[in-house]
Amino acid sequence: MSGHLSLSAAPVCEFWTERHLCTLTTLRADGSPHVVPVGATVDPDAGLLRIIASRGSAKVRHVLAGGDRVAVCQVEGPRWSTIEGKAVVRDDPDSVAEAVRRYAVRYRQPRPNPERVVIEVTIARVLGSASLGAPR
């Protein structure tokens, strides 16, 4: 069973801090989904999910072209969670530095990339498995 989750629930928040790769789904201009593996970090206090990326990547181009509704999912065995929201691309040094800092905590220090930007997602909905505390 699955359902809506809250990032204020400890098991949900913990799951989003464990080292798991995620998938990001964006929409192409023709409406078809584009799914790629990413590292993502969640900031429950700010209600944001962040993904570092290269400026010229397809995922960044899709968001910039108006495909701002995205979904980020991670799974481990029976546990899964998807975060949906509206994405923007930020390239200011403070936003990129914060995203890199959070990425380094969850995964590892990323390689230098002068073309780095951050896809910042305002969290609208969190879904997931019952093992994370979904309502029954």
Please give the pLDDT value at position 132.
80
Length of the chain (residues): 136
User: Which of 1-15, 25-39, 56-70, 102-116 has the least mean pLDDT?
Assistant: 1-15
Judged against a pLDDT cut of 80, whether residue 11 lies above it is answered with: yes
Domain ranges of the chain: 2-132
Judged against a pLDDT cut of 70, whether residue 135 lies above it is answered with: no
* Torsion angle of the four alpha carbons 83, 4, 123, 27, in this order, in degrees rounded to the nearest 10: 50
pLDDT in tens, 89-132: 999 999 999 999 999 999 999 999 999 999 999 999 999 996 78
- Looking at the structure, give the CATH architecture of the domain made up of residues 2-132: Roll (2.30)
Please give the pLDDT value at position 136.
42
Q: Give the distance from CA 53 to its chain's centroid.
A: 11
Euclidean distance between CA atoms 34 and 23, whole angstroms: 10
Please give the pLDDT value at position 33.
95
